[in-house]
């Protein structure tokens, strides 16, 4: 065997080894665990995690397998932030504003009272500064956050008594999360956050006087209309975006193609949820309106809306003063909304007033 043949043989062995290595990497199955805030088989929200996991597995030809644990399994509906941060789970599906008690600035990435509508907010996330600001904030906690599905404009909630003035809000015990809870507290109400599974009992036993959950898409099955007949239109959650949370170390372990597959699966599942929410709300509202004619749809009096707006602005100013990143996010959102809203006014709003 001459030198050239040995060299050829050597090169061919190296090439074979490299190809084998590549083939092994391409076959390697990555298993991820996901904890969601919702009970097992919860409609719409739970469909979103299953949809995302199924797309990721199919698109990766079986190389990505995601196990979903519902609240029934991990028992910590509002513990997703901690469980993903610590690495107990690789991923989570929840809502960013649930973490306001730990990191106040997280609440801006779900929805804001009197804030952007869903199309405006998606435009801000993907074409404005939304994604970059969310990454900047969650990076401090070694996590990534991605939009996780939108409910669309939410209803203002179920009330046992009519709200005729701001005096009716004083002492009102209401389940309402996010910044809206703080706005109501400023007007004398007593807001609280209670996980989905405990809401009906809390309302029935008068632990709370009122609650907001989502809208017809998810409210119908909860049965609130049987115990609280006043269904108010929304002001507090015009564009509630859920969240896929990711532990940064778990993300870094994935090859670039699987990261991209996950990005696409999460983004598609998020958009699917927005459309599913719209469809389910339309269907369920038709059912509610025909089967429960005692439901009274109400809009808060203008004096109440004005007081809520004023309290909202005052609280935002305090948050901006206390935190430079809160100010940065608020400035970005208000500048974006100002521009986008002019377009909304002359497009959708004008069309709807035809």
What is the binding site for Ca ion (CB under 5 A)?
Answer: 154, 212, 237
H and E: helices and strands count for the chain: 14, 11
Q: Among all chains, which residue has been given the structure tokens 């599913």?
A: 276
C-beta of residue 162 within 8 angstroms of C-beta of residue 285: no
Cβ at position 178, least distance to Ca ion in Å: 8
User: Which string of DSSP letters, residue by residue, matches 120-134?
Assistant: HHHHHHHHSSHHHHH
Q: What are phi and psi of 162, to 5 degrees?
A: -70, 145
Q: What are phi and psi of 44, to 5 degrees?
A: 60, -65
- Give whichever of 59 and 273 is closer to Ca ion, judged by the CB atom: 273
The CA distances from residue 17 to 14, 29, 70, 195, 228, in Å, are 5, 20, 42, 53, 69
Cβ at position 335, least distance to Ca ion in Å: 26
- Give whichever of 209 and 212 is closer to Ca ion, judged by the CB atom: 212
C-beta of residue 178 within 8 angstroms of C-beta of residue 100: yes
Return d(Cα 111, Cα 215) in angstroms, integer.
Answer: 15
- Give whichever of 69 and 212 is closer to Ca ion, judged by the CB atom: 212
- Give whichever of 128 and 157 is closer to Ca ion, judged by the CB atom: 157
29 half-sphere exposure, CB direction, 13 A CA radius: 8
The CA distances from residue 342 to 5, 128, 304, 349, in Å, are 74, 16, 25, 10
Cβ at position 54, least distance to Ca ion in Å: 26
Cβ at position 170, least distance to Ca ion in Å: 22
Cβ at position 337, least distance to Ca ion in Å: 20
The CA radius of gyration of the chain, in Å to the nearest whole number, is 24
- Give whichever of 124 and 235 is closer to Ca ion, judged by the CB atom: 235
- Give whichever of 251 and 278 is closer to Ca ion, judged by the CB atom: 278
Cβ at position 154, least distance to Ca ion in Å: 5
Q: What are phi and psi of 209, to 5 degrees?
A: -95, -20
- Give whichever of 63 and 175 is closer to Ca ion, judged by the CB atom: 175
- Give whichever of 118 and 154 is closer to Ca ion, judged by the CB atom: 154
Cβ at position 288, least distance to Ca ion in Å: 17
Cβ at position 212, least distance to Ca ion in Å: 5
């Amino acid at each position: 065997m001459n030198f050239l043949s040995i060299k050829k043989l050597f090169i061919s062995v190296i090439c074979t080894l490299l190809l084998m290595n590549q083939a092994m990497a391409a076959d390697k199955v990555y298993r991820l665990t996901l904890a969601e805030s919702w009970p097992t088989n919860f409609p719409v929200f739970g469909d979103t995690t299953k949809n995302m996991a199924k797309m990721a597995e199919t698109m990766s030809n079986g190389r990505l397998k995601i196990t979903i644990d519902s609240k029934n399994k991990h028992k910590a509906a509002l513990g997703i932030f901690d469980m993903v941060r610590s690495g107990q789970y690789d991923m989570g599906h929840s809502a960013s504003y649930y973490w306001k008690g730990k990191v106040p600035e997280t609440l801006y990435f779900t929805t804001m009272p009197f804030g952007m509508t869903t199309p405006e907010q998606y435009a801000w996330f993907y074409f404005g500064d939304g994604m970059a600001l969310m990454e900047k904030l969650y990076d401090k906690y070694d996590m990534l956050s991605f939009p996780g599905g939108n409910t669309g404009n939410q209803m203002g909630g179920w009330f046992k008594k009519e709200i005729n003035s701001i005096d009716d809000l004083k002492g009102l015990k209401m389940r309402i999360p996010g910044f809206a809870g703080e706005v109501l507290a400023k007007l004398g109400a007593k807001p609280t956050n209670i996980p989905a599974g405990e809401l009906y009992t809390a309302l029935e036993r008068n632990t709370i006087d009122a609650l907001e959950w989502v809208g017809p898409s998810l409210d119908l099955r909860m049965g609130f209309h049987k115990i609280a007949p006043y269904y108010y239109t929304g002001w507090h959650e015009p564009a509630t975006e859920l969240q896929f949370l990711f532990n940064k170390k778990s993300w870094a372990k994935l090859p670039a193609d699987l990261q991209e597959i996950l990005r696409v699966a999460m983004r598609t599942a998020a958009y699917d949820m927005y459309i599913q929410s719209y469809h389910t709300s339309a269907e369920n509202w038709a059912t509610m309106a025909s089967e429960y004619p005692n439901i009274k749809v109400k809009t808060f009096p203008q004096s109440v809306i004005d007081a809520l707006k004023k309290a909202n602005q005052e609280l935002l100013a305090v948050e901006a003063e206390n935190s430079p990143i809160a100010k940065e996010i608020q400035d970005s959102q208000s500048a974006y909304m100002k521009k986008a809203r002019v377009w909304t006014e002359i497009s959708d709003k004008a069309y709807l007033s035809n």
